[in-house]
Amino acid sequence: MQMIALGGTIGVGLFMGSGSTIKWTGPSVLIAYIISGVFLYLIMRALGEMLYVHPTTGSFATFASEYMHPVFGFLTAWSNIFQFIVVGMSEMIALGGYFRFWWPNLPDWIPGLVAITFLCIANLISVKMFGELEFWFALIKVVTIILMIIAGLGLIIFGFGNGGHPIGISNLWRNGGFFTGGAKGFIYALAIVLASYQGIELIGVTAGEAENPQHTLVAAIRSTVARILIFYVGAIFVIVAIYPWNQLNQIGSPFVQTFAKIGITAAASIINFVVITAALSGSNSGIYSASRMAFTLAEKHQLPKKMTLLNRHGVPFYSVVAISIGIGIGVVLNVVLPMYFKDASQIFVMVYSSSVLPGMVPWFVILISEIAFRKQNQQHMAEHPFKMPFAPWSNYITLVFLAITLIFMFLNPETRVSILVGVVFLVVMTIIYFRKYQPREKANKS
C-alpha cells in the first residue's frame, strides 16, 4: 500500500512539472512543497480515521454518500474516474515522445497501444499483479530520486563533478532572492504543487482489498506522506541549490544534467527509462482506482450492472476493460491532435491539466465527511487509535487552504482553462444525477 501511494503520487509532477513551479516562485518552491505536504497529511489522517472503522473499496465516494449527500458520492466517484482516465490518456500521449528518444521514426501511437494492452491484462490477472507492478514501478522512481539526491549533495558539499569545488547553496538566495515571484508567484506555484500530490488518496481505494486493513492502513499513511515530502523536497532542494533557478529552462532536465555532471554519460537514457516507468505507473494506478470507482457506481445502479461482475481472480472484469479503453483514447489522440498542434508538450499539458479540479474533489469530501463521521460514530472515538489531529479546526483550515489555491488557479492565466474544464465536468455530472438518478432512487425507496 505504501508503494502504491508513492507510485500514484511521485511521477510526471516531479520529473516534468517542477519547471513551472520554480519559474513562478524560484527556490521558495521548497516551502510550497512542505506546506502542501502538511495539509495532505491532514487529509490522509481524516481518511484514515474513517477507514479504520469502515475499511471499504471505493471508500471516499462511499463516505461522501453516507455522510454528506448521495450526489457528492456520485460526483466523487466520477471525479476519480475522470481524473485517472485523463491522467492515463496524457501518459499514453507522453509515451510516444519518450520512445522517440531511442527510435525517432517510431509512430507515437505504438508505445501507447502496447502499454495500455499490457496494463489492462496485468490488472485483469489479479489485484496482486497490480500491486507487484506498482511496487516495481514505484521502486524505480524512488531509487532514481534517492540517487539524484545523493549525487546532488556530493556536488553541493564535496564538489564531485565540479573539479572538487563545492557548489554550496548560495543559489537559494542569489538571482533575485528566495521568493523571486513575490506572494502571487508563490501562491500560483502552491496550486500546481498541490496538484502534483494528486493520487495520494489511492490508499483509500486499496483499503477494502488489503489484508488486516487497519494495521496496514495506519502504517501506510504514517510513512507515505513523510516519504513523499522527503523525496519531493530533497530532489527540488538539490535542483535549486545546484542550478540558478532562472537558468533551468535552458539546461533541459535537471535530473539528466545532475547525473551527467558527475560523469554518468548514459544519464539521458536512464532518466528517459525512469520517466517511462512513471508514465506506466500513473496509468496502472489509474486503471486500478477508476475501475474500483466504476464498480462502486455499478453497485448503486449508476452504471450497468455488468460492471460489478468479477472474474475468477476477483477482479471487476468489465470495469477494468472499460477504464483501459477510456485511457486508450490517448492513443487515438496521439494520431489526431498532432494534425492541429505541433508541440507535443502542449498536447500533454492540455490533456493533463483538465484533471486538476476533479482530482481535488476527493480531498474536499474526505475533510467534510470526517466532520459528520465523527458526530455519528462517537462510540468509536474514545478508543480510536488514529484520530484526525485537532479536528474539526484542522478540517476547516485545510478546506480554506484548498479553496484559496483553486481561486488562484483561476486567476492564473496558465491554469485557468484547467479549472474551467473541471467546473464544466462537475456541473454536467450534477445535472445528470438530479435528472436521472435521484428520481430513480426516490422511486426505489417508495
Average pLDDT in the 66-91 region? 88
pLDDT value, residue 366: 92
pLDDT value, residue 124: 92
Between 290 and 442, the higher pLDDT residue: 290
pLDDT band for 196, please (50, 70, 90 cuts).
confident
> To 5 degrees, how large is the angle CA 39–CA 3–CA 186?
30
pTM: predicted TM-score of the whole model, two decimal places: 0.83
Taking phi over 0 as left and psi of -120 to 50 as alpha, with beta for the rest, 164 belongs to left
Asked if the model's pLDDT at residue 161 lies above 70, the reply is yes
pLDDT value, residue 429: 95
pLDDT value, residue 5: 61
Residue written as grid cell 507515437: 108
Among 61, 76, 39, 88, which residue's Cα sits nearest to residue 328? 88
pLDDT value, residue 58: 55
Asked if the model's pLDDT at residue 98 lies above 90, the reply is no
pLDDT value, residue 129: 82
Q: For 262-294, how does the pLDDT look when each residue is reduced to its tens digit (9 = 90+)?
A: 777 777 788 788 888 888 888 888 898 889 889
Residue written as grid cell 463516505: 63
Q: For 315-335, how does the pLDDT look when each residue is reduced to its tens digit (9 = 90+)?
A: 999 999 999 999 998 888 877
Average pLDDT in the 148-152 region? 86
pLDDT value, residue 254: 66
- Supply the mean pLDDT for the chain: 82
Average pLDDT in the 138-165 region? 85
Asked if the model's pLDDT at residue 387 lies above 90, the reply is no
pLDDT value, residue 16: 59
Among 1, 109, 65, which residue's Cα sits nearest to residue 344? 109
Query: Residue 337, CB half-sphere, CA atoms under 13 Å: how many?
Result: 24
Whether the bond into 392 is cis, omega within 30 of 0: yes
pLDDT band for 162, please (50, 70, 90 cuts).
confident
pLDDT value, residue 359: 86
Average pLDDT in the 18-36 region? 83
DSSP state of 445: H
Asked if the model's pLDDT at residue 39 lies above 80, the reply is yes
Q: For 108-124, how does the pLDDT look when each residue is reduced to its tens digit (9 = 90+)?
A: 889 999 999 999 999 99
Q: For 391-418, how does the pLDDT look when each residue is reduced to its tens digit (9 = 90+)?
A: 899 999 999 999 988 888 888 887 788 8
β strands within 212-333, DSSP E: none
Furthest-apart CA atoms within the chain: distance in Å: 80
What are the grid coordinates assigned to 216, written together?
Answer: 496496514
pLDDT value, residue 418: 80
The CATH class of the 2-438 domain is mainly alpha
Q: Which amino acid is at 223?
A: S
User: What whole-number distance in Å separates Cα of residue 268 and Cα of residue 250?
Assistant: 16
